[in-house]
Chain A
Amino acid sequence: MNVELKDLRIVEEAKRPLSMNPKKFALWLFMMSVIMLFGAWTSAYLVKRADAGWAEIVLPDMFWINTGIVLLSSVTMIVAYFAARRDKIKWLKFSLAATMILGISFLVGQYYAYVEMVSLKEHFTGSNVSHSFLWILPAVHGLHIVSGLIFLVVVLISAFRFRIHSKNMNQLEMCATYWHFLGGLWLYLFVFLLLNP
């Protein structure tokens, strides 16, 4: 520790550059690329719709119910977030589990929406592309929901191991961000399809 004076030098400070949690940042970038993915499909839809010979689609009523479920699951996610911030671990586990159950119900609901689509003569193949689009958009969104559910399972396990609490919110925050994002994505798709049948 004894440093001789001649060894010391005074220099200007090198400032630490601004930065945020790299994992959260990476998640935002990932969501950017998902936006581009769905942006591509919906713009393709619009371009195709502007062509001659577009057959209008009929949306299944189940979509309304499923939209409700997704919104509800975002609410339970918010509850989970605040529960964790106040270290109410029981509430946290409960509302995370509720979010998961709602997420799964959403997928089940989407399945019934497909059943309904078939009865509405909205077939994947064999007719106008508009119907194929109607099949693909919820399907690829559903795949993302599956990824969100896997994330939820991981977070739920952490919660059961007492790893999530007011001093360790990162994982939960990321999961919540992603989940809200997926809900928002569904909302976007639904409204998009409503406005551009």
Chain B
Amino acid sequence: MATTHTHTNIDVHHHDDHEHEHHEGNFWTTYIFSQDHKVIAKQFLITGMFWALFGGLLSVIFRLQLGFPDMSLEWLRPMLGGWITPEGKLDPEFYLALVTMHGTIMVFFVLTAGLSGTFSNFLIPLQIGARDMASGFMNMLSYWFFFLSSVVMMSSFFLETGPAGGGWTVYPPLSALPQAIQGSGLGMTLWLVAMALFIVSTLLGGINYITTVINMRTRGMSFTRMPLTIWAFFFTAIIGLLSFPVLFAAALLLIFDRSFGTSFFLSDIYIGGEALTNVGGSPILFQHLFWFLGHPEVYIVLLPALGITSEIIATNSRKPIFGYKAMIGSMLFIAILSFIVWAHHMFVTGMNPFLGSIFMLLTLIIAVPSAVKIFNYVTTLWKGNIRFTSAMLFSIGLVSFFLTGGITGIFLGNSAIDIQLHDTYFVVAHFHLVMGSASFFGMLAGIYHWFPKMFGRMMNEKLGYIHFWLSFVGVYMVFFPMHYIGIAGFPRRYYSFTNFETFSGFTDLNTLVSIAAVFTLTAQLIFLFNFFYSIFRGKLASANPWKSTTLEWTTPRLPGHGNWPGEIPAVYRWPYDYSKPGAKDDYIPQTVPYSETPESNLPHENEMIKLETSGGHGAIVVEGEKH
């Protein structure tokens, strides 16, 4: 027995040494199959940026069709080939595929994997004071499952029948019957396979995030000293863990319906006058399963962006975040509510009106915690010493979109008004502002803010301003007119509105929207240039360029493997000690003990020192800062 004991001991030690060692791998282990959370974060970021650009291009193509229905798209033939009809028009079925893939890519690949994957990975260990994620291996797998999923999704573009075309919500029976449209053929199969891989990736990532936040915090990092970013990532991961399996369940049943002849979602369908054999299924059942994921998913997309915003707004207002606990509370409340409102996407499926009013009530309650958050952002800004960095501008932009888009949510949440508005451009306007643009701005804000820690250099602020203003104006020009188009009753996902004289209104607004879309996408090129140029040529960053309090800024300019060269710092205070009355600087990092800041301590903070030092234990002696 003795031998086995020593053996494990050696194992443990070896492991410890390994963690502190700054170990140099080869190119493959350092950049490709890396298990370092910072490298994995950058992999997610770059992949996400690629998808964002790709998804954006898709939207511009279908906007050309909507804004300029008479335009000849012959010049796209070299790229799209057979998807351009002989008359030089976009193929109607390819239009559906474009809309579907745009939605799928943006919601899942950019704003879920790209956003959570980047910032949860990068910030969780750095901000809670851990050397890495709980399991670097699982973390690496998470990225590679995402990569595989991306490859599968991308390959569906090269199919003869094209990618999936049933909308990002893939409602059966359309998505279940290959004979319905081309986009329900092999493209749909690949969509389901890609999403299954994607869910595996998300679960691997999410399990890791939650485990790390709970178990790997440094000394002193109690829950109430965690930055709001961490709280947001934490809730996001929990929501994902509980909702993505349900999508998996739905997808599997859909796969059986498509390829094995079951009829979970199919019943009484006639094609070409002939009845299919499928009976007894229910397409509504799919909608329930889908939206049980789908609604939480919109918060999976939004919460990380809100967390990032909290951090950036506090730092750049030089003020403590207003209502720290209220922020946590409202995120928790939103997370809980997000699981019990899904049927507001299904008000017009013929559901029991009484059930509808219950879901209406629950839905409208979400406005309360959402409003608390907006209020707290504004009060944090109020009378702050505001520094308009690019990150700050994008964060303020997020608050604006969240408000504008959230208000239309209250319209939609009324089951009676939704009869008129459902599946119109009003819904499109709603979710593009509140989810799409808000989260996108949150992601950009995060990149601008943490770029110095990611790459050790600064991004160009002037280009950042230009990028912000063009994007901000562009987004409103794209999505604001859509409200009017939607109220007038124009349905979403229609290929053309100009075939009948009576329904040809609003062509001018549609043209404006399309021009604005091209404009906004073009503005992103400024960002891309700024990003890649700054990686190589940007001004060298200092270790803490924004004078921020959180732990990641106590690492060296470019944190290596293990993040801190020496011991992991301990935490003594909450992360929002900005402009504390009496303090020397306008910020006190989390690593500074209260006993060192008698000039700014509040009475209860002095109490805490006394309590701990009087007992004898509790007080500890550490070496001074100047050696």
Residues of A that sit less than 8 Å from B by CB: 3, 6-17, 19-23, 25-26, 29-30, 32-34, 36-37, 39-41, 44, 47-48, 51, 53-54, 87, 124-126, 128-129, 132, 136, 140, 162-163, 165, 167-168
Contact = CB atoms under 8 A, between A and B. Distances in A.
B572 A9 contact: no
Interface string B197-219: 00000010011101110111111
Nearest to B8: A168
B572 A11 contact: yes
Contact of A36 (B245, B262, B594): B245
A39 B248 CA distance: 12
Given A11-B596, A132-B256, 12 more contacts: A12-B595, A13-B619, A14-B220, A19-B217, A22-B215, A33-B242, A33-B245, A34-B245, A37-B248, A40-B248, A48-B264, A129-B264
Contacts of A20: 214-215
A87 B2 CA distance: 12
A40 B293 CA distance: 10
A123 B215 CA distance: 47
B612 A12 contact: yes
Nearest to A89: B1
A30 B595 contact: no
B627 A162 contact: no
A165 B214 contact: no
Interface stretch (B29-37, B275-283, B383-391): B275-283
Interface in B595-625: 595-596, 608-609, 612-613, 617-624
A36 B222 CA distance: 29
A151 B288 CA distance: 34
B250 interface: yes
B244 interface: yes
Interface of B: 1, 4-5, 7-8, 134-135, 138, 203, 206-208, 210-212, 214-223, 241-246, 248-250, 252-253, 256, 260-264, 277, 279-282, 285, 288-289, 292, 570-572, 593-596, 608-609, 612-613, 617-624, 626-627
A7 B249 contact: no
A51 B284 CA distance: 11
A129 B286 CA distance: 14
18 contacts: A8-B623, A12-B593, A12-B594, A13-B617, A14-B570, A14-B571, A17-B220, A20-B215, A26-B134, A32-B241, A33-B203, A33-B245, A40-B248, A44-B264, A51-B282, A126-B277, A136-B253, A165-B1
A7 B260 contact: no
B248 A23 contact: no
A129 B620 contact: no
Contact of B608 (A8, A12, A36): A12
A32 B242 contact: yes
A8 B572 contact: no
A10 B623 CA distance: 9
A44 B285 contact: yes
Given A3-B623, A11-B620, A126-B261, A22 B135 contact: yes
A93 to B, nearest CB: 14
Given A17-B221, A47-B288, A33 B241 contact: yes
A37 B245 contact: yes
Nearest to A30: B207
A22 B261 CA distance: 43
A23 B137 CA distance: 12
Contacts of A6: 624
Contact of A48 (B8, B285, B608, B613): B285
B377 to A, nearest CB: 28
Given A15-B220, A19-B216, A22-B215, A44 B134 contact: no
Given A10-B619, A44-B289, A165 B4 contact: yes
B4 A15 contact: no
A40 B249 contact: yes
A136 B256 contact: yes
A47 B264 CA distance: 11
A15 B596 CA distance: 17
A40 B595 contact: no
B53 to A, nearest CB: 32
B262 A132 contact: yes
Given A48-B282, A163-B4, A36 B217 contact: no
A62 to B, nearest CB: 22
Contacts of A8: 621-624
- Most central of A36, A125, A129 by chain B CB within 10 Å: A129
Contacts of B250: 40
Contacts of B608: 12
Contacts of B253: 41, 44, 136
Given A10-B620, A165-B1, A124 B134 contact: no
B211 A40 contact: no
Contact of B613 (A12, A40, A162): A12
- Most central of A13, A20, A48 by chain B CB within 10 Å: A13
Given A19-B217, A22-B135, A10 B613 contact: yes
A132 B264 contact: yes
B320 to A, nearest CB: 20
Given A19-B214, A41-B249, A136-B256, A9 B621 contact: yes
A25 B138 CA distance: 14
Contact of A53 (B203, B280, B289): B280
Contact of A47 (B263, B285, B613, B618): B285
Nearest to A47: B285
Contacts of B571: 14
A13 B8 contact: no
Contacts of A37: 245-246, 248-249
Nearest to B242: A36
Given A10-B595, A10-B619, A33-B242, A125 B262 contact: yes
A98 B572 CA distance: 52
Contact of B219 (A15, A33, A39, A47): A15
Given A34-B245, A168-B8, A129 B289 contact: no
Which 5 A-B pairs rank lowest in CB-CB distance, beginning with the nearest? A14-B220, A7-B624, A14-B570, A40-B249, A11-B593
B8 A129 contact: no
B592 to A, nearest CB: 9
A44 to B, nearest CB: 6
B217 A9 contact: no
A136 to B, nearest CB: 7
A40 B289 contact: yes
Nearest to B128: A17
B292 A40 contact: yes
A76 B196 CA distance: 35
B430 to A, nearest CB: 27
A26 B619 contact: no
A23 B135 contact: yes
Contacts of B138: 26
A3 B625 CA distance: 12
